[in-house]
Structure 1
Amino acid sequence: MLLAATAEDGIIRLWDMRTGVQRPSIEGYASWIRAICELPVGGRHLLATAGDDGTVRLWDTATGRTETVMDGGRLGAVGALAETPVADGTLVASTSGDGMTRLWDPATGDQRLAMPAPGTTVTDVAALAEDDLHLLAVAGEDRVVRVWDADRGELVKEFKQHHERVNAVCAVGTLLASGADDLIVRVWDVHQAPGNDRARPLLGHANWVTALVAVRHQDTDLLVSADKNGMIRLWDPRGELLRERQAHDAVNALAAYPLGNREVLVSAGVDRTIRLWSLDDLSPLGVLSGHKAPVTGVCPIEFGGRTLLASVGLDRTVRLWEPRTGRLVRIIPVHHRALACAYVGGMLVVGLDRGLLALAVR
Structure 2
Amino acid sequence: MTEQSDTARGHELQDDGDGEAAVHARIAAQLAALSTEQERPPPPYARRHLARHAALGHVLDDARVPPQALAWDTGGGIRALLHHTPAGGPRHWLTAWSAIEPYLREAPLPSRMASLHLAHTALTYPDTPRTRMPPEAAPPADSPLTVHFANWRLSANIWATLPATPTRLLTLDHPRRGLQVAVATTTGTLEFLDAATAHPIGTPLAAHTGEIRSVHLSQPGPDQRQYLVTASTDGTVRLWDAHRHAALGCHTDSTWFDDALCCFDDRGDLTVRSVNGRSELTGWAPPAPPRTLATAPAVLRGALATLVDTDGERVLVHAARDLTVHRLDGTVRAVHPLPTPARTVTAGAEPGLFYCGHADGSITSWSATGGQLPATAPGHGEPVKDLCLLALDDDAESTVLAAARGRTVTLWEPATDTVAELRGHTDTVTALAALPESPDRPGALLSGAADATLRLWTAADIGVRLTAGHTPAPRRASGTALWHSDSGPLIATAHDTTVRLTATRTGRTTTALTGPEPVLALTWARRAAQHLLLSADTTGTVSGWDPAAPGLPPLTPLDCGAPTRLLAACASADGALALLLTASDDYRVRLWDLHTATGLRTWDGHTMSVKALAAACTGDGRPWLASAGTEGVVRLWDPATPDDSADRIHCDQGILHALALNTEPADGLPPFLVTAGDQADIRLWDLATTQPIGPRLTGHHAPVHAVATFTAERRTYVVSASRDGIVRLWDAATCRPLLTVATATPLTWLDATPHPGTATVDLTLAGPAGTALTSLDLAHPALAG
Same topology, TM > 0.5: yes
Shift of 1:186: 0.9
Which runs of structure 2 are paired with 1:14-53 in the superposition (5 Å)? 40=139, 42=142, 44-46=144-146
**Relative to structure 1, is the Cα distance of residues 73 and 319 closer, same or farther in structure 2, using a 3 angstrom cutoff?**
closer
Match of 2:459 in 1: 361
User: Could you tell me whether the CA contact under 8 Å between 1:184 and 1:209 is conserved in 2?
Assistant: no
| Deviation at residue 343 of structure 1 after TM alignment | 1.0
Distance 2:385 2:301 in 1: 15
- 1:32-75 Cα offsets, whole Å, 9 max, x none, are xxxx756946464356999xxxxxxxxxxxxxxxxxxxxx8733
Q: CA 1:323–1:46 in 2, change beyond 3 Å: closer, same or farther?
A: same
Runs of 4+ in 1 over 4 A off after TM superposition: 36-39, 46-50
Kindly indicate whether the alpha-carbon contact (under 8 Å) linking 2:359 and 2:381 is maintained by their aligned counterparts in 1: no
Conserved? CA contact 2:388–2:401, under 8 Å? yes
TM-score, normalisation: structure 1: 0.74
CA distance in 2, matches of 1:46, 1:139: 48
Counterpart check, 1:232 vs 2:328: no
The structure 2 residue matched to 1:125, chosen from 211, 215, 220, is 215
Are the counterparts in 2 of residues 310 and 318 from structure 1 also a CA contact under 8 Å? Answer: no
Superposed CA RMSD? 2.8
In terms of mean alpha carbon deviation, does 202-211 or 351-360 score higher?
202-211
TM-score of the pair, normalised by structure 2: 0.36
Match of 1:144 among 229, 236, 240: 236
What's 2:187 paired with? 98
Change (3 A) 1:248 1:77: farther
* 1:120-162 deviation line (CA, Å, top 9, x unaligned): 22221001232332321111111111111222221111112x3
Aligned partner letter, 2:444: M
Match of 1:274 in 2: 363
Change in CA separation of 1:249 and 1:292 when aligned onto 2, cut-off 3 Å: closer
Contact 2:280 2:292 in 1 (8 A): no
Match of 1:33 in 2: none
Q: CA deviation at 1:245?
A: 2.2
Q: Percent identity?
A: 19
Question: Which residue does the alignment assign to 1:215?
Answer: 307
Unaligned runs of 5+ in 1: 1-35, 51-71
Distance 2:163 2:170 in 1: 16
- Cα distance between partner residues in 2 of 1:299 and 1:347: 11
Q: Are the aligned partners of 2:272 and 2:285 in contact in 1 as well (CA < 8 Å)?
A: yes
Aligned to 1:325: 416
CA distance in 2, matches of 1:186, 1:283: 25
Contact 1:120–1:142, Cα closer than 8 Å, also in 2: yes
Report 1:1-362 matches (<5 A). Answer: 40=139, 42=142, 44-46=144-146, 74-88=162-176, 89-113=178-202, 114-117=204-207, 119-129=209-219, 130=221, 131-160=223-252, 162-173=253-264, 174-190=270-286, 193=287, 196-217=288-309, 218-227=311-320, 229=321, 231-259=322-350, 262-289=351-378, 291=380, 293-306=382-395, 307-328=398-419, 330-336=420-426, 337-345=428-436, 346-353=443-450, 354-362=452-460
- Cα drift, residue 290 of structure 1: 5.6
1:361, CA displacement in angstroms?
Answer: 2.0
Size of the aligned set, in residue pairs, is 298
Q: Deviations over 1:95-137 (max 9, x none)?
A: 1022111122233212224221353222210012323323211
2-structure distance, mates of 1:284, 1:301: 19
**Structure 2 unpaired stretches of 5+:** 1-117, 123-138, 153-159, 265-269, 437-442, 461-785
1:111 aligned counterpart, secondary structure: coil
Deviations 1:251-299 (A, max 9, x none): 111111124xx34110001111100011123233321126562222212
Deviations 1:326-361 (A, max 9, x none): 222x42113232112121332312121123222222
1:221 partner letter: R
For 2:355, give the aligned amino acid: V
Structure with the bigger RCO (C-alpha within 8 Å, sep 6+) is: 1
**Secondary structure of 2:167 counterpart:** coil
Q: Name the amino acid aligned to 1:265.
A: F
Question: Which whole-Å CA distance do the structure 1 matches of 2:151 and 2:210 have between them?
Answer: 32
Q: Which residue of 2 aligns with 1:18?
A: none
